[in-house]
Amino acid sequence: MQAKEETLIEKADGVASGWIIEIKRFIPTIARLCIMASTLEDSLRYWREYGIYINYFGNLWTKQSRSAFMEPDYFLASFFLWPLILKIIPALLLISNLCSRPVQQKLCYLFYAMSIWSMVALQGYPGGRNWNLWQIQHTAKFWAAISLVYAEACEESNSMFAGLPSLGDEWGKKTYLALAGRLLFGFIFISKMQFLFGHWRLVLDWVVNLPCVLAIMFGYRVNLFCCLYSAILLFDNFYWHQFWMHWGNPWAYEHVVYSFMCNMTVIGSCLQFIIYGPGGISLDKALKAE
């Protein structure tokens, strides 16, 4: 029975790998676009609704006036807001893949810093002054994705795709970055797990999503489980996070679109695992060695 189950998994993994090879030339750009989706949307939203956000930031960073009343500090608000708008430029450079590898690495450093800048500027999110586990989860989600892009920029060898690198050929910085990305990937999901089974969505998390995430975390049949988990996240987005329904309500729109784009970031991470592998420290690597 065990051998039959292994055979079914191997067949499913082979089908997923074959499908991936068919569309391989499009995946790297799609992966980076998904990872940077939240960054692009943030910048465009801050620009589109500049008047709302300059007042919001101004009231977060208030100053004492002569009349002893608190008034918005628009200078400090602009100091925090404009970098969040202009980060669209390095995001587009990273998506385009036109920069050299050293430049791509520096862009990754920039986005590590920008995620912290954003949280300091917002004094926590949402609503301001709201530092909690939720905040850590979403920062870790973005860092996991950026770590995989950085690992890609460190790679110089060949992969399963012609002309593309592999994160599993030799142990080095790229291997440990891939491992860190997988561990963060697992932490993000497991820290959100709930034990109330009154809704079918929670059952889906435990029965389907948790095995997928654990398999990715340990680097087992990554192609298969990344494809399956990405499909579930796409369903999740278009079923639960229909941000286009809240276009006329900026605050509701911001919360829903944030969840939508965070899921896209995770999908981008899955695509990075599909392209470049789970890294040298993984079950797939161990099974391949045997």
- Residue 269 vs residues 37, 39, 99, 119, 240: alpha-carbon distances, Å: 12, 15, 20, 21, 21
pLDDT in the model for residue 128: 53
**Quick one: pLDDT at residue 26?**
76
Task: Say if residues 126 and 255 touch (Cβ distance below 8 Å).
Answer: yes
pLDDT at 129 over 60: no
pLDDT confidence band for 85 (50 / 70 / 90) = very high
* pLDDT computed for residue 54 by the predictor: 92
12 or 43, higher pLDDT: 43
pLDDT of residue 44: 94
Across 17-31, 56-70, 225-239, least confident range: 56-70
Give me the domain span that covers residue 181: 2-289
| 251 vs 194, residue with greater confidence | 251
If one counts the domains in the chain, the total is 1
Mean pLDDT confidence for 41-63: 88
Report the C-alpha gap between 30 and 46 in whole angstroms.
24
C-alpha distances in angstroms, 283 versus 9, 127, 178, 224, 277? 14, 42, 13, 14, 11
> Among positive and negative, which fits the CA dihedral 226, 211, 38, 102?
negative
Cβ neighbours for 63, distance < 8 A, ≥ 6 positions apart: 70, 71, 73, 76
Residue 283 has pLDDT above 50, yes or no: yes
The string of pLDDT tens digits covering residues 151-208 is: 888 864 334 444 444 444 456 677 888 888 888 888 878 877 766 666 777 778 888 8
Least confident of 18-22, 204-208, 210-214: 18-22
pTM: 0.81
pLDDT at 158: 38
148 has pLDDT over 70: yes
Mean pLDDT of 25-35: 87
Arithmetic mean of pLDDT over the chain: 81
Q: Is residue 115 over pLDDT 70?
A: yes
pLDDT score recorded for residue 290: 64
